[in-house]
Chains A and B, each alone.
Chain A
Amino acid sequence: MQMSLQVLATLAWRNLWRNYRRTLIMLAAIILGVWAMIFMTALMRGMVDGVVSDGIKYLPGHAQIHHPSFRDDPSVEHAIKNLSPELLAALKQPGITGWSARVKVPGMIASERDSRGIMLLGVDPAQELTVTFSADDIVEGRFLESSADTGVVVGRKMLEHLETKLGRRIVLMSQTPDNDVGDRGFRIVGVYRAGQSSQEEMYVYAGREVVQKMIGIGPAVTELSVIGNDYRNLSPWLEQLQTAAGGNLDVAGWRELDNYLSLALTMQDSIGLVMTLLIFVVLSFGLVNIMAMAVFERVREIGLMQALGMQPRAILVQVLIEGLYLLVLGLCIGNGLAWLSLQPLAAGIDLSIIAEGADMYGLGTTLYPSLKPVDMIQSTVLVIFLGLLASLLPAWRAARLDPIRALNEH
């Protein structure tokens, strides 16, 4: 059998181009289908990546460490009093790219004009910059300079709501452990932007020490946010962190912290697969059709080859190879086209005209398509596997032809 594989491959290739119109039309269909699969997957992955990374950025980080009661009752009462040396050592693991110990408490912000409910983040700017905040996010002024900085950094949208400006003063209020209200005046030293306006309205950054003093919790923090190098895979370091934290602290990955984001990620993977399958089903009708046409217009010649002593299974393999050529060609060109067509979009697709709609899905105003080799490989393997399955029926019928009848076919 192996000795004739070469001749089968030659036959299959030449047969493929005998009816070049038909082959080209089918090829165009496969290319279109593959392009759509890859292109759509890249957009969807980009969308989910955007939602998840924005979500992770402003909410949990890749993992969070809390007082065991904090997640049920997010109050300053349930703060982490001190970080153990074991935990600090565990945070130095490879795979962890940054962490930040914050005081994250609900509060109020008030200007002379208006007041709003916010989430107040008391941060050490050096740590925070390794986790979620990027210096590029600052659109006006500066980020905090130290943990003792008495300035405050607010979102663009919040600035509008409060009808205030950079350099003006605002008052921050939050609850103290004994349920008094701690408040303090701050000067706005910086304005940041975020992917979603709801985030700009939600988070206000101030120096950690200043906030600690304002609400009287000493050196305690409420939350430790940890970022690793791949949000999809935390397992290399999460367990060690849990061990190091012991029973005194609650260490949780983002999937546990935000079911919705986790669900979005799982859904994207399955929707991508369903889409690939739908496109494939429609393609396969065409594929079965042309493979069957190809077999049935060559009945006589298949009979001849059988008469010459070609094994039925060699005929089966020949038809399968023909299908395989078509699939591989279509996949190569389709994948290539998808890659090419994504290049101009790599800088991001502007969604600002549907900003509110995008917001509803937790999406920022720019969508960055994300083309992952794994998606290309997944759809390629799937298409080849299912495509060969679709070619199997005509191939099997070809192999089962009765040589005498085949030879007498007109």
Chain B
Amino acid sequence: MASVSCKDLRKTFSQGETTVIGLDGVSLDIEKGSFMCLSGPSGSGKTTLLNAIGGLDTPDSGEISIGGERIDQLAKSDLADMRLHNIGFVFQAYNLIPVLTARENVEFVMQLQGQSVEQRRELSTSILEEVGLQGMEDRLPTQLSGGQQQRVAVARAIVSEPQLVLADEPTANLDSKTSTQLMDLFWQLNERRGITFVIATHDARVMSYCRRIIRMVDGQIIADENQAGGPGNAD
């Protein structure tokens, strides 16, 4: 069964007096365990699509369901709950809450979910170890490098075992070496845990990791390609 299913999504934004088309009839199914990316020039609608899937934004028309459940008609607070339990986010930058340490950032979502202190402590320790941040648990975001910050964001995104991790240009602020390391991490998590990854990017290196690449222009899907993906395809 498809993990995510979109049918004929449409969305326009008004910018002053002009109307910008965000999504123009997008239909898409995402299988569970996918490792895919949305690519296209800026303004092509990839971030809009990502936001719609993540329940951050509602389309003007069309249907979205996650795990078989319609989310396009949900109220604001129900959407928040849906995100909390089903979706992990990794953004381009400013991913972390500045006043919380790495561990607290990871535990933040678990706290919102109401997990116990012991459970949180155990999980956050193992997840931070898994993303390679052992020994840095108590550092504040300002004391971490850009790559390390993104790893904390990844740890936070996967800690609640979501159905889906959505990443919006996760490597845009990283150098190439760190980018590769982050993508390796994504790949491992997908392989090991079967987490579905949807990554919006225009970074060729990121695309090379993906098994499926959706290309978008002007709010429409113009290509949907499958490839082997995985590490080592770059360069």
A–B proximity contact (CB within 8 A): yes
Which of the residues A14, A309, A311, A312 comes within 8 Å of B100, measured between beta carbons?
A14
**A306 CA to B84 CA, complexed, in Å:** 9
Which of the residues B81, B87, B94, B111 comes within 8 Å of A4, measured between beta carbons? B111
Q: Which residues of A contact B84 (CB under 8 A)?
A: 308-310
Stretch binding the partner chain, chosen from A79-87, A236-244, A297-305: A297-305
Contact residue range for chain B? 20 to 34
Say yes or no: is B51 at the interface (Cβ < 8 Å to chain A).
Answer: yes
A314: which B residues are within 8 A, CB to CB? Answer: 112
Residue numbers in A under 8 Å from B57 (CB-CB):
404
Classify the interface of chain A: helix, strand, loop or mixed.
helix
Q: For A307, give the chain B residue with the smallest CB separation.
A: B89
Q: Indicate whether B20 reaches chain A with its CB closer than 8 angstroms.
A: no
Q: With contacts A308-B112, A309-B112 known, is A11 near B100, CB below 8 A?
A: yes
Number of residue pairs across A and B with beta carbons under 8 Å?
70
**B68 CB-CB contact with A under 8 Å:** no
CB nearest neighbor in B for A313: B77
Chain B contacts for A311, CB-based, 8 A: 77, 80-81
Among B120-140, those with CB < 8 Å from A are: none
Residues in B neighbouring A308, C-beta threshold 8 A: 83-84, 89, 108-109, 112, 156
Flag A1-42 by CB within 8 Å of B: 1 or 0 each: 001101100110011001000000000000000000000000
Which residues in B have their C-beta under 8 angstroms from that of A407?
A: 56, 91
Residue A253 is within 8 A (CB to CB) of chain B in the complex: no
**B85 located at the interface, meaning its Cβ lies under 8 Å from any Cβ of chain A in the complex:** yes
Asked if A403 is at the interface of the complex by the 8 Å CB criterion, the answer is yes
B59 beta carbon closer than 8 Å to chain A = no
A42, B175: Cα distance in complex, Å: 65
| B residues less than 8 Å from A313 (CB atoms) | 77
Residues of B within 8 A of A300 (CB): 94
Question: Bound complex: CA of A18 vs CA of B104, how far in Å?
Answer: 17
Residues on A with beta carbons closer than 8 Å to the beta carbon of B94: 300-301, 304
Q: Which of B54, B99, B100, B104 contacts A307 (CB 8 A)?
A: B54
For residue B98, CB closer than 8 A to chain A, the reply is yes
Complex-state Cα separation, A221 to B5, whole angstroms: 100
Please report the C-alpha to C-alpha distance between residue A305 and residue B210 in the assembled complex, in whole angstroms: 28
Q: Count residues of A near B (Cβ-Cβ below 8 Å).
A: 25
Judge if B97 is at the interface, Cβ distance under 8 Å. Answer: yes
Tell me which residues across on chain B come within 8 A of A3, comparing CB atoms. 111-112, 114
A312 touches B54 (CB 8 A): no
Does the CB pair A312–B80 fall under 8 Å? yes
Interface residue B148 (Cβ < 8 Å from any Cβ of A): no
Residues of A within 8 A of B108 (CB): 7, 305, 308
Return A389 CB to nearest CB of chain B, in Å.
Answer: 23
B112: chain A residues within 8 A (beta carbon): 3-4, 7, 308-310, 314
Once the chains bind, are A304 and B83 in contact (CB under 8 Å)?
no
Cβ of A309 and Cβ of B111 under 8 Å apart? no
* A304 to B109 CA separation, bound complex (whole angstroms): 11
Shortest CB distance B50–A (Å): 10
Which residue of B51, B97, B99, B109 is within 8 Å of A309 (Cβ)?
B109
Determine whether the beta carbon of B111 is less than 8 Å from that of A7: yes
Do B98 and A18 have beta carbons less than 8 Å apart? yes
Which of A4, A7, A307, A314: most chain B Cβ within 10 A? A307
Residues of A contacting B111 with CB < 8 Å?
3-4, 6-7
Do residues A309 and B76 form an inter-chain contact, with CB atoms below 8 A? Answer: no
Flag if B97 contacts A304 (CB, 8 Å). Answer: yes
| Contact (Cβ within 8 A) B83 A307 | yes
User: In the complex, A307→B114 CA distance in Å?
Assistant: 17
Distance, CA A207 to CA B230, complexed state (A): 113
Q: Which residues of B contact A6 (CB under 8 A)?
A: 111
Cα of A307 to Cα of B87 in the assembled complex, Å: 9
- The interface bits of chain A over 306-327 (1 if a CB of B lies within 8 angstroms of the residue's CB, else 0) are 1111111110000000000000
Q: How many whole Å from A370's CB to the nearest CB in chain B?
A: 44
Q: In the docked arrangement, what's the CA distance between A311 and B84, Å?
A: 9
Can you offer 29 A-B residue contacts whose CB atoms are under 8 A? Answer: A3-B111, A4-B112, A10-B100, A11-B97, A11-B99, A15-B99, A18-B98, A300-B94, A304-B91, A304-B95, A304-B97, A306-B56, A307-B54, A307-B83, A307-B89, A307-B91, A308-B89, A308-B112, A308-B156, A309-B83, A309-B84, A309-B85, A310-B80, A311-B77, A311-B80, A312-B76, A312-B77, A404-B51, A407-B91
Which 4 A-B residue pairings sit nearest by Cβ, starting from the closest? Answer: A309-B84, A14-B99, A3-B114, A309-B83
